[in-house]
Amino acid sequence: MSILKIENLSKKFGGHNVINNLSLSVPENTIYGFLGQNGAGKTTTMKMILGLLKPSSGKISVCGEEVTYGETKTNRYIGFLPDVPEFYGYMKPKEYLALCGEITGLDRKAVKAKSEELLSLVGLEKANKRIGGFSRGMKQRLGIAQALLSEPKLLICDEPTSALDPIGRKEILDILLSVKGKTTVVFSTHILSDVERICDHVAVLNNGSLVLNGTLSQLKQNHRLDTLQIEFRSSEDLQRFAGNECVGMLFQNAECTDCTVILRSKNIDEAAGQIYDAIYKTKIYPVKVEILEPTLENLFLEVVK
């Protein structure tokens, strides 16, 4: 069952199309990475899911219930972490979480226990001062705590890591990874390594429409380039090797740079076989023979061109 479903969603600001006929569905218990450049429409999409913005057309449903603009009942399934979460600076974290609990209508005692648990999960159990004095990273953690308070089925995070230093980023990602299984996580980012680290499903948004969508391994499989990279000890080795008749055909459309060569072939296994035969015959041993995996970066650059 898909926990979030978006069908033919469009959003116009003035005459400008920000979201263009977007459709996607998020399966349960996944970490769904929502990639896109700055201004691709990630935040706009998220705000529409939360009923904060009115879609120009299209339908969004969360857990099978349709999202309505303004006041939406579907928000009770959702925990949301805005890109820069803002809190009441004059409150302490526990007071803030207690207020959140009251609003969600949770039991007071349960909230108390839950907020202690969450504050220690996000590493704020000792931060017993007013939120106004918090650093950016601390606010982001508190943001996660408040989003998880009602044990939502769907956790939506808008660029949770983009404003943080590498250590802060890793910690936030670890927290997100730790809630997997209990909660479906949708998070937007433009940092590719974050996606590779924790996501199992990726969607790439470009100019308001979806250009890539699938599981990470699936995407890599589909966009696998039949490319072989061989690195030699020296350029003479490379020249001698290229002269061998077994590989002459392969080297016709090769990119040679100094000691390395990149070969393309329709049948990568056959090409690899030929290369190993040639190595055996010529006794020229390369430093490295590698079948190139497509990186997410390559994929991303390819689709947002």
Partner 1 sequence: MDVLVEFLPFLIPLIIIEWILAITALIHVLRHPHYKFGNKSFWIVVVLFVQIIGPIVYFIFGRGEE
Partner 2 sequence: MRAFIAMAKKEFLESIRTYKLLIVATVFLLFGMLNPITAKIMPKLLSSFMPEGMAITPGEPGTVDSWIQFYKNMSTQLILFVIVFSGIVSNELTKGTLINMLTKGLPRKTVILSKFTAIISIWTLSYLICFVITLIYTRYLLPGELPNLPFAACCMWLFGVLEISMMLLGGALSGSIYGSLLLAVGFAGVLMLANIFPKLEEYNPYLLSTGCVSLLTSERVPSDFYVSIIVTIAFILLIIISSICSFNKKQI
Q: Give residues in contact with partner 2 (CB under 8 A).
A: 50, 52-54, 70-71, 73, 75-76, 78, 80, 82, 84-88, 90-91, 95, 99-100, 102-105, 143, 146, 150
Residue 296: strand, helix, or coil: helix
**Shortest separation between residue 303's beta carbon and partner 2, angstroms:** 30
Q: Residue with structure tokens 């061989």?
A: 230
**Beta carbon of residue 41, minimum distance to partner 2 (angstroms, whole number):** 15
Q: Distance of CA 148 to CAs 117, 184, 198, 265, 297, Å? A: 11, 11, 18, 49, 31
- 231 and 260 Cβ atoms separated by less than 8 Å: yes
Partner that binds at residue 133, options partner 1, partner 2, none, CB closer than 5 to 8 Å by kind: partner 1
- Phi, then psi, of 43 in degrees rounded to 5: -65, -40
Residue 14 binds to partner 1 (criterion: CB under 8 A) = no
| Closest approach of partner 1 to the CB of residue 88, in Å | 10
184 binds, among partner 1, partner 2, none (CB under 5 to 8 A by kind): none
Q: Is 128 a binder of partner 1 (CB under 8 A)?
A: no
Site for partner 1 in 217-276 (CB under 8 A): none
Residue 234 to residue 2: CA distance in whole angstroms? 54
Residue 158 CB, shortest distance to partner 1, in Å, is 23
Q: How far is the CB of 85 from partner 2 (least distance, A)?
A: 7
Per-residue HEC secondary structure of 218-265 comes to HHHHHCCCCEEEEECCCHHHHHHHHHCCCCCCHHHHCEEECCEEEEEC
Rounded Cα distance, 218 and 202, in Å = 10
**Residue 132 in contact with partner 1, rule: CB under 8 A:** yes
**90 in contact with partner 1 (CB under 8 A):** yes
* Residue whose pair of structure tokens reads 């089925």 in the numeric block: 153
Cβ nearer to partner 2, comparing 26 with 142 = 142
Residues that bind partner 1 (CB under 8 A): 89-90, 130, 132-133
